[in-house]
Structure 1
């Protein structure tokens, strides 16, 4: 699998399916075919439309699509995205709300690097913007990063977070979603020893695999079944000739997407079948619920092979964070050194990716932190996506996180707005 032609073959399959879809849509959309009372013509055109859009989205980075937000002064304030710290593998970006005074809540939203772009957190950002000054880790697609930029593994990821926090200052509140939770915890512990003044005020960990062994899921079972040799041989590939990162070893986003889809194959098949019927009946729209979700879900990015492999080996198999044995540049990061940063964990009772028990394990690792600076919350009926972007986030979890931030920060804050 370590050949550039293998990567190009996968891309060729994607392009071919996109072409099949566009061809079916075009051929079955001729006005003359309307004379034939055959429902298969409309169904084929609808299948082509859905297929073309789906395969086209797989290589396109979605736009944030956040242009303005309402404020307490009765006006809509425009929002611009600024690059605060540009780096080869990811930038620290800020959503600057024009004409608004600081809210007193400076939030670093740590986006996962698990196959999707940071825009997966668009609704999370949008829900926080009325009450917070929001910064996000905007990770780059590994296929677009030249080999000359070097490597990027879990230690580099951790050091990126350390650098971002140093730039943002000590009045920062970190919210880490899913995959980066253990590394955000490690970055905080690293700062506790190396640069205590740069530590954040609070650390909220949402649905992250702090201790993958605490509760089994398909993800943890996969990590136990396969060996590192099998992953290196059958999973990682070299970027093909089409992209700037040609020759770089990556875990392809298309391969990760296949795994995502396989976990809930029946659910996805039903969703696409229903969408084809809606398109055929003229009931679908460009921004309907299906397209809004799958335009983001299908947009995938490649991870560097060293990041993917080190995550599996050190976080899932080796349990280095779970057992407080994680090292950065040869130095042990002691999570027990966290003594002033308030830590909160959030879990979903129906989370099939990071099951309840995996994230709350972080609190037991914070042995130097007093109990009044620890908090946890379990939303019984929420799945993985719901705890950071769905109804459960908006109605229950978001208010609790903002209350947690306010309770652990003395900076004057603006009143919290109700988000419906």
Structure 2
């Protein structure tokens, strides 16, 4: 019960700060305040505006904001986000482009379940839907999922991916970004043995911790330092009475956000101080760089506690994927069973979350896959975010990934190798 009280206390603090911001903004904007020629009044209004917006975004799911798209035919087309598979913990979305012929490239973009919504991949989706049929995993906020829906751990996550791949069919090309990379590799191996005809044509793993010890970072060091008991006691709480998932054990989004912010506290403090001054000077706007970034960054979601704990224990501590010892429902998943799916890894040279060496470790596990079906790329100067969004993705990585997909779009023939793009 005390964990529910703690959860509700965090929400109370967030709500109070949002109210304080709204109050300061309203008070300082009252017409009579204009009679006081004091710059502190304008600063208070700016502080209130930035504070209210920031704390409000923490509990709001961002919109995809992809309404139209200029495609290769040079025309603007309407885009509709349609749910094609609906499940309690996550849906499969399709970005339908009206008035355009179905594109030959069918891509399943596996979004991370790591504190932020799938909309974190908005720019990635935009760059792909111009000439691809794009499907995305849209994971739900655990606070909104009733306890009656049951648990959700790394095995359930893997089986969700298996179902999504089966639904899309074997002509699919899968791109897994960051956290889901090891579990997407496991899901592909699961299909290789259980349902070979449902395997995708290719698998691209971007900045994922296949082997966290391949090149340790602060993230992996943290996983080794703390015990599972400490994590369960300090990080996991029960959803409070305000939400549909009341009583469900979660790793709260607000707690995750405090961890994210503390890693670069000086930079975030400076960013908000500068934004307050910009608002006070009338230089800010609804869609300026600060708001575009923090509207997404501050929007966090609760993770099921069992998913968070099993990820730390099985992927990071016991390294079950790295050792090829992962099991689903008691059945071993042998990554060496993958023999026809072309696999490419992408890493950023300056990635301080999944450092170079962690993701490329997947290729050594693919003992049944011919060398000509394996490829890897390390992007010079790119950090973690840059390898799936931003300039590095748009200019260098995206063309390589699409070239890899095109080279491996034909149905594999037994005994025939595939040409890959490095």
Q: Same fold (TM over 0.5)?
A: yes
The alpha carbon displacement at 1:30 in A equals 2.1
Distance 1:105 1:2, change over 3 A: farther
The alpha carbon displacement at 1:379 in A equals 1.1
Q: Is contact 1:351–1:382 with CA below 8 Å preserved after alignment?
A: yes
In 1: Cα distance, 2:35 partner to 2:373 partner = 71
Residues 200-223 of structure 1 show CA distances to partners (whole Å, capped at 9, x for unaligned) of 001001110111111121211110
The alpha carbon displacement at 1:36 in A equals 2.9
Q: Is contact 2:113–2:179 with CA below 8 Å preserved after alignment?
A: yes
Aligned to 1:416: none
Unaligned runs of 5+ in 2: 412-422
The alpha carbon displacement at 1:354 in A equals 0.9
Aligned to 2:236: 236
The alpha carbon displacement at 1:131 in A equals 1.5
Residues 275-325 of structure 1 show CA distances to partners (whole Å, capped at 9, x for unaligned) of 111101100000111101110110000010000000000001010001110
In 1: Cα distance, 2:144 partner to 2:17 partner = 23
Aligned to 2:199: 199
In 1: Cα distance, 2:64 partner to 2:349 partner = 29
SS of residue in 2 equivalent to 1:3: helix
Residues 114-145 of structure 1 show CA distances to partners (whole Å, capped at 9, x for unaligned) of 00011111111011000110000000000000
In 2: Cα distance, 1:387 partner to 1:270 partner = 25
Q: Is contact 1:91–1:138 with CA below 8 Å preserved after alignment?
A: yes
Q: Is contact 1:251–1:305 with CA below 8 Å preserved after alignment?
A: yes
SS of residue in 1 equivalent to 2:311: helix
Aligned to 2:337: 337
TM-score, normalization by structure 2: 0.96
Runs of 4 or more, structure 1, over 6 Å off, are: none
SS of residue in 2 equivalent to 1:321: coil
Aligned length: 411
Q: Is contact 2:71–2:131 with CA below 8 Å preserved after alignment?
A: no
The alpha carbon displacement at 1:273 in A equals 1.1
Aligned to 1:245: 245
Unaligned runs of 5+ in 1: 412-420
Aligned to 2:95: 95
Aligned to 2:307: 307
State the superposition RMSD in angstroms.
Answer: 1.1
Aligned to 1:317: 317
Report 1:75-90 matches (<5 A): 75-90=75-90
Q: Is contact 1:25–1:47 with CA below 8 Å preserved after alignment?
A: yes
Aligned to 1:174: 174
Q: Is contact 1:2–1:233 with CA below 8 Å preserved after alignment?
A: no
The alpha carbon displacement at 1:27 in A equals 1.1
Q: Is contact 1:110–1:176 with CA below 8 Å preserved after alignment?
A: yes
Q: Is contact 1:81–1:96 with CA below 8 Å preserved after alignment?
A: yes
TM-score, normalization by structure 1: 0.96
The alpha carbon displacement at 1:2 in A equals 5.7
SS of residue in 1 equivalent to 2:80: strand
